[in-house]
């Protein structure tokens, strides 16, 4: 990865609380280069009202390939303007979206997803939709009108592989698009897959950090 820290995905959702207000939930996924054991990874953000930035610390999730780590923050604070902060070995690194900060659209009784600077496609949700099919939702940056989104998958440990193309589902307030892919898997108990996004002569992947995604039943 070109920088020691990068935002991968930020999601936000809200629902009525029953008191006239909204209950908010935000999730942030961050990838950092493992430069030392002791480190501090946080989202440095600002609420919709007020100008004070606050730090909310992320929690380590797992080791990734190439000396990287995945960290995650789940918060009830709505942070509409934020950057990613990474403190390690006496140095602070930032992912501030190229100096523009990340701006998360406000949500009320809805959902939104914001991709970082690097990923152009990420898995949203996946699961078995019925006895013989899986259903995959993916979020992509709208880089051009003409695009192809889908999955490459296997039900036999990659002895064979199949491709299923997705269809546009809807657009988010952030401008990102959600695509849905349905794939026939028969009676398979285990399905492995990766998401692809082809646009403007380029191909992007979300393969779960080189581990592929796995569905079992």
In tens, the pLDDT along 103-119 reads 999 888 889 999 999 99
- Average pLDDT, stretch 9-15? 93
Sign of the dihedral through C-alpha 11, 17, 22, 23: negative
Domain ranges across the chain: 5-115, 121-216
Give the list of residues 6+ apart from residue 37 with CB closer than 8 angstroms, or none. none
Going by pLDDT thresholds of 50, 70 and 90, the confidence category of residue 90 is very high
* pLDDT of the residue at 22: 81
* pLDDT of the residue at 96: 96
Rounded-to-integer distance, Cα 210 and Cα 56, Å:
28
Domains 5-115 and 121-216 share a fold: yes
Query: For 16-20, 48-52, 56-60, 103-107, which range has the lowest pLDDT when averaged over its residues?
Result: 16-20
CA-based nearest residue to 214, from 113, 128, 138: 128
Going by pLDDT thresholds of 50, 70 and 90, the confidence category of residue 64 is very high
pLDDT at 1 over 70: no
Going by pLDDT thresholds of 50, 70 and 90, the confidence category of residue 216 is very high
CATH code for the structural domain at 5-115: 2.60.40.2440
DSSP 67: G
* pLDDT of the residue at 217: 95
Rounded-to-integer distance, Cα 152 and Cα 39, Å:
36
Write the class of the CATH domain 121-216: mainly beta
Over residues 143-179, the pLDDT tens digits come to 999 999 999 999 999 999 999 999 999 999 999 999 9
């Amino acid at each position: 990865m070109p920088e020691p820290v990068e935002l991968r995905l930020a999601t936000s959702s809200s629902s009525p609380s029953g008191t006239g207000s909204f209950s908010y939930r935000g999730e942030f996924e961050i990838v950092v280069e493992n430069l030392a054991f002791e480190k501090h990874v946080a989202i440095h953000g600002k609420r919709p009202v007020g100008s004070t930035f606050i730090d909310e610390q992320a929690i380590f999730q797992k080791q990734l390939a190439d000396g990287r780590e995945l960290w995650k923050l789940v918060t009830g604070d709505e942070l509409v303007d934020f950057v990613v902060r990474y403190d390690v070995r006496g140095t602070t690194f930032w992912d501030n979206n190229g100096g523009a900060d990340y701006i998360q659209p406000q949500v009320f009784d809805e959902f939104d997803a914001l991709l970082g600077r690097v990923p152009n496609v990420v898995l949203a949700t996946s699961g078995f939709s019925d006895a013989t099919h899986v259903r995959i939702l993916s979020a992509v940056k709208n880089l051009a009108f003409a695009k192809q989104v889908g999955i490459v998958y296997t039900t036999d440990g990659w002895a064979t592989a199949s491709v299923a193309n997705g269809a546009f589902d809807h657009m988010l307030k952030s401008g990102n698009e959600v695509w849905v892919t349905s794939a026939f898997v028969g009676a398979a108990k285990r399905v492995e897959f990766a998401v692809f996004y082809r646009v403007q002569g380029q191909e992007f992947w979300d393969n779960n950090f080189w581990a592929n995604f796995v569905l079992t039943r």
